[in-house]
Amino acid sequence: MTTATALRPFQIEITDSELGDLHRRLDATRWADPAPDTRADFARGVPQPYLRELTNYWRHEFNWRAQEARLNQVPQFIAEIDGQPIHYLHLRSPEPNALPLLITHGYPSSVVEFSDLIGPLSDPRSHGGDPQDAFDLVIPSLPGFGFSTPVRQTGWELGRTTAAFAELMAQLGYSRYGTHGGDIGAGVSGRLGAIDSAHVVGTLVVSDPGSLGLAGEQFPIPDHLTEEERTRVDQERTAWRAERGYLDLQGHRPETIAAALTDSPVGQLAWIVEKFQTWTNPASRTPEEAVDRDQLLTNVSIYWFTRSGASAARFLSEAEHSDLDWIAPSGVPSGWVVFNTEPIMRRFMDPQHQMAYWGEHTEGGHFPAMEEPALLIEDLRNFFRNLR
């Protein structure tokens, strides 16, 4: 790997012309004819009445400049690693013995996902916590996502990304660090434990029952499950087959969807918002019942301004055609936290109770840092407390 030659400070600065172009495109949206039925749920995707209302809010009420300023309060940098710009947030704790923690997002997310974790994790003293639980935070954007763009070479997938993030932590001078993430971030976190075990002290990943849909693909189906539990796994596998169209298209035809997501902000909005409906806590009727609306639109806006719809699709395509499994066994202490959990999850993932940490919450879903940040913060503190 070609290592970084410089770590340069970075600030998000979307130009007035880019912001104006977004507004003009939103004003000129060409809407589909109304559906012949009046269903308001998300069973067939994002219903047009909801999408129209959210688009109107994005255009007339959402304040990008305020969100941009908020993000720029956190120190940001760009590293050049293996020929690729890697954007990352880097916040050093005021506590002298803070543990470095690398946090990695997934799809369709960005560093915005972790906004509510940053203060309490880095400065627990100021947020009612124990200063001994403090972390130095490194939160990178995956290559092709957000400001880790443009992608100049092929081959950026899970393995190459993990190696780049290990190099980033070395460049920052961290000889011991923990890892955390969900979705793609779970794969990166676990693989870091496998390839950089001399420096990784522990990995904590998050999941939800949707991961059962990968049974037989990424996870072997245990022999000890009851007939009722096997039926439950089959239900999730069926649900995943209906859900995975976004992945099949991006994994095999990324250039087709790249054109649509780069040209239409409403198309990009719908593409992301659908996942924030289907993957968050099922008790939520709309995405903003699960996550903050402005935080969600900040995430979508970053995809739009950076043209990440295209490059994220290419990342997923590279991952689809690599020979890497999503799970990389390692010898470092590992923990799982499951949100929107149910009894089968531990029976499936950790039947012998061998994991160093197992956390379960009935609340939340696929994006716990946005849905239930307080619960996730407590899990991170609990898991790493004995690994410092």
Single-letter residue type at 85: P
Q: For residue 194, which of 352, 380, 334, 88 has the smallest C-alpha distance?
A: 334
Domains identified in the chain, total number: 1
Distance between CA 287 and CA 285 in Å, rounded? 7
> Mean pLDDT throughout 153-173?
97
Note whether residue 1 is domain-resident: no
pTM for the whole structure: 0.96
- Are 364 and 206 contacting, i.e. CB atoms less than 8 angstroms apart? no
Peptide bond into 108 cis (omega under 30): yes
Q: Is the pLDDT score of 4 beyond 60?
A: no
Q: Is the pLDDT score of 2 beyond 80?
A: no
**CATH code where residue 374 lies:** 3.40.50.1820
Note whether residue 120 is domain-resident: yes
Note whether residue 166 is domain-resident: yes
Note whether residue 238 is domain-resident: no
The model's pLDDT over 36-61, given as tens digits with 9 standing for 90+, comes to 876 678 888 999 999 999 999 999 99
- Are 279 and 208 contacting, i.e. CB atoms less than 8 angstroms apart? yes
Q: Is the pLDDT score of 105 beyond 90?
A: yes
pLDDT score at 324: 82
The model's pLDDT over 272-288, given as tens digits with 9 standing for 90+, comes to 999 999 999 999 999 99
Note whether residue 198 is domain-resident: yes
Distance between CA 264 and CA 271 in Å, rounded? 11
- Are 337 and 189 contacting, i.e. CB atoms less than 8 angstroms apart? no
Range of the domain at 373: 7-28+39-208+244-384
Note whether residue 227 is domain-resident: no
Distance between CA 101 and CA 380 in Å, rounded? 10
pLDDT score at 38: 65
Note whether residue 92 is domain-resident: yes
Mean pLDDT lowest among 1-5, 281-285, 323-327, 344-348: 1-5
Q: For residue 269, which of 104, 67, 48, 71 has the smallest C-alpha distance?
A: 48
pLDDT score at 218: 80
Single-letter residue type at 272: I
pLDDT score at 217: 81
Note whether residue 71 is domain-resident: yes
